[in-house]
Structure 1
Amino acid sequence: MRLHRNLVFAVIDGLIEIFNEGGYADKVIAKQLKRDKRWGSRDRSFIAETTYDIVRWKRLYAAIADVGEPFERKDLWRLFAVWCTLRGIKLPDWPQFEETPTRRIKGRFDEFSNIRKLRESIPDWLDELGEKELGDKWDAEIAALNKQAPVILRVNRLKTNIGELQQKLVEEGHETENLKAYKDALQLQERANVFTTQAFKDGLFEVQDASSQLVAPYLGVEPGMRVIDACAGAGGKALHLAAEMDNKGQLIALDIYANKLKELKRRARRAGAFNIETRAIDSTKVIKKLHNSADRVLLDAPCTGLGVLSRNPDAKWKLQPDFVAKIQETQQTILRDYSKMVKPGGKMVYATCSILPSENQEQVKKFLKSEEGKNFSIEKQKTVLSSESGYDGFYMCLMVKKDEKK
């Protein structure tokens, strides 16, 4: 591989913003990709994937390069040199790479590969938490979460089917593989920006991880039901629910952030999902009005996001120990308050993209012991580990509310 100076500079500039200025990797990379209109798909791919790679392995590379935060510009060039050396990429004769100790880099890599928190490039507290909660499974799980996430599409059955979509994507130059264990999923054989395809513009698919695609079907919705997606965000699962309902019935998408619901409306128009109604939770009245009214409620709760580190590697550097405790309080509040919207005989799914039992099974146990949860019982629950599935880590629990009349 021959390195191009302007592409490497884009990577270094992006890393400064992510590491030193608190920028979110996805937004920083999106901005960097707009720097030069002449860049082709291969150039953009290099910038995005190299930046994500160095973000993912920040602690390991910094230890090998013997540099610490906040990083100076020369430190980031050293991290980049480590990245190149470990991938067997020949360093060009640039001033920034003078006296790069290639042999020492490989030696230190071998040395640090024996220490899990360095090998997997994670903060001490996160390594301790993972081991405490997952025990023997933590080794394999954190290794899986450090792998690059595949690009998975969800076929929008309101507009097309898997066979038709595959054919349309082939015509646009994208080969996909049918994931038989996931009824609506296709996996891109080669990573690409599919958002520019006509098929995407026509609303024929969404980009959604295979594990995330398990959540909507888990709720067991049917056409004609009243369904509430109580933490809808920008609506990935709401759109899936609309397809599961065949656009029939009422699907109410709630969120505390009105701007996310605005994005959901835009996505729903593109997807042809016409049974979605958005409501911002701007007071407690919004929830109270819906008490005992829903056949199904989805609580896709805010969480640490530890199951999606392969997709958001900068999250492990932004996440702080005190946030874990705070988010668990929020999860319990959501379970107790929002479960009141389920009507007697109705069902609710509590889901997170976390792998921690303290955010998952323990939260459900605590809820079932509460006043608000005493009429609920578990019908089924599922933990998806990245190390076992090859996709995001997820948890989902289906609960039924007792119908006193029966």
Structure 2
Amino acid sequence: MRLHRNLVFATIDSLSEIFNEGKYADKVIQGTLKRDKRWGSRDRSFIAETTYDIVRWKRLYAEIAEVKEPFSRENLFRLFAVWATLRGIELPDWKQIEDTPTRRIKGRFDALSKIRKFRESIPDWLDELGVVELGEDTWTKEIHALNNLAPVIVRTNTLRTNKENLKQELLKEEIEAFPVKNYPEALELKERANVFRTKAFKDGFFEVQDASSQLVAHFLEVEPGMRVVDTCAGAGGKTLHLAALMENKGQIIALDIFGNKLKELKRRAKRAGAHNIETREIDTTKVIKKLHNSADRVLIDAPCSGLGVLSRNPDAKWKLEPEFIAKIKNTQADILNQYSKILKPGGKMVYATCSVLPSENQEQVENFLNREEGKDFKLVKDQKILSSDTGYDGFYMALLELKK
């Protein structure tokens, strides 16, 4: 593989913004890829994938290169040299990476790979927390799985098409996809591709959504004609899935504290042909109070640490802090207390997170059932999804029923 100077420099610029300015990797890469219209798909893939790789393995590479944050430009080139050496890529004769000690890099890699926090490239506190919550063996397997590149999964929009037809439509655009067993609407791409440029996407035939996330709407047991409230809807991935499962019949009220996310949901709903969704921004407590005792189904896709989706958001492990996890657990408890009141007697509610920590999942549900607010609820079933078991995102969901 021959390294092109302008692509490597674009990668270094991206890393500088992510590591030194605290910017989000996906936004930075999006901006970088717009810099040069002459870049082809292979050039763009190189920048995106190399940047993500170095973000994912930041701690390991920094230990090998013996550099510390904030990273100077010279040190970012050292991280890049480590990345290239470990992949067997011959380093060019550039002054930025001359005298790279390739044998020393391989030696340090072998030594550090014996220690989990370096091998899996995670902060000390996160490694300790993982062991406490999941146990040594499960955590070792899980954090290893979460360091793998996430596959691209699409969810067939059954309001517009079916899975077989979508597969054929993508094939027309030279994108090969195959069905995923036990996931009714899921297709997995054989190779990564920019699916957002396809006619099938513009026609609303699918949404990009991880396989684990696709299970949540099914877990809620919705039926056409119901009144459903999606309380933390965001940009609406699960809302749109619910609309499809309800065949556009009944009503879905999509709530969120961020109005801009709900605007995005409206755009997506239009493309998907989902007509039974109404959006409401939670700008005061009245929004929730007005909905008390009114819904057949309630979805609480709660804000969480996001530890189950590290494979697609590798920079999250560097932005996360122990204080945030403690704070988010209080938020989850409060949301369960408040939003559970939206359910009418006999109704069902799903509490879901994209975390693998029991303290955000099973323990939250158990604590809720033992509080005054949860005393009339019973746990019908729950499901813990580990990335090490499925190859998809780590997730948790619990189905709760309110007594009649």
Query: TM-score, length-normalised on structure 1?
Result: 0.99
Query: Aligned partner of 2:270: which letter?
Result: R
Q: Distance in 2 between matches of 1:272 and 1:346?
A: 27
Matched residues in 2 for 1:128 and 1:183: separation?
A: 37
Distance 2:389 2:277 in 1: 34
Task: Give me the whole-angstrom Cα distance separating, in 1, the residues matched to 2:320 and 2:97.
Answer: 32
Question: What secondary structure is seen at the aligned counterpart in 1 of 2:196?
Answer: helix
1:192 & 1:143 partners in 2: Cα distance?
25
State the aligned residue count: 403
Cα deviations by residue, 1:295-316 (Å, 9 ceiling, x for unpaired): 0000000000000000000000
Structure 1 residue aligned with 2:43: 43
Q: Does 1:87 align with 2:60?
A: no
Which residue identity is paired with 1:33? L
Cα drift, residue 273 of structure 1: 0.4
Corresponding residue SS for 2:373: coil
Q: Which residue of 2 aligns with 1:379?
A: 380
For 1:151-162, what aligned pairs fall within 5 Å after superposition?
151-162=152-163
Gap regions ≥5 residues in structure 2: none
Structural mapping, 1:206-221, within 5 Å: 206-221=207-222
Instruction: Determine the structure 1 residue equivalent to 2:32.
Output: 32
What secondary structure does 1:399 align onto? strand
User: 1:5-404 maps to which residues of 2 (within 5 A)?
Assistant: 5-135=5-135, 136-403=137-404
Q: Distance in 1 between matches of 2:396 and 2:343?
A: 20
State the Cα distance separating 1:97 from its structure 2 match: 1.4
The whole-number CA distance in structure 2 between the counterparts of 1:394 and 1:35 is: 36
SS at match of 2:223: coil
1:24 alignment partner AA: Y
Distance 2:374 2:320 in 1: 30
CA distance in 2, matches of 1:198, 1:41: 18
Distance 2:356 2:348 in 1: 23
**1:46 counterpart letter in structure 2:** F
Aligned Cα RMSD in Å?
0.4
Letter in 2 for 1:102: T
Off by >3 Å, runs of 4+ in structure 1? none
* Deviation of the 1:96 alpha carbon: 1.1
The Cα of 1:109 is off from its aligned counterpart by 0.1
Deviations 1:181-227 (A, max 9, x none): 10000000000110011100111000000000000000000000000
Q: Distance in 1 between matches of 2:3 and 2:242?
A: 45
TM-score (norm 2): 0.99
Secondary structure of the 1:348 match is strand
Task: Work out the CA distance in 1 between the residues paired with 2:237 and 2:268.
Answer: 9
Gaps of 5+ in 1: none
Looking at structure 1, the residues matched to 122 and 213 of structure 2 have their Cα atoms a distance apart, in angstroms, of 24
The structural deviation recorded for 1:180 is: 2.1
Paired residue secondary structure (1:92): coil
* Deviation at residue 93 of structure 1 after TM alignment: 1.0
What is the CA deviation profile of residues 24-78 of structure 1, one whole-angstrom value per residue up to 9, with x for unaligned ones? Answer: 0000000000010011111100000000000000000000000000000000000
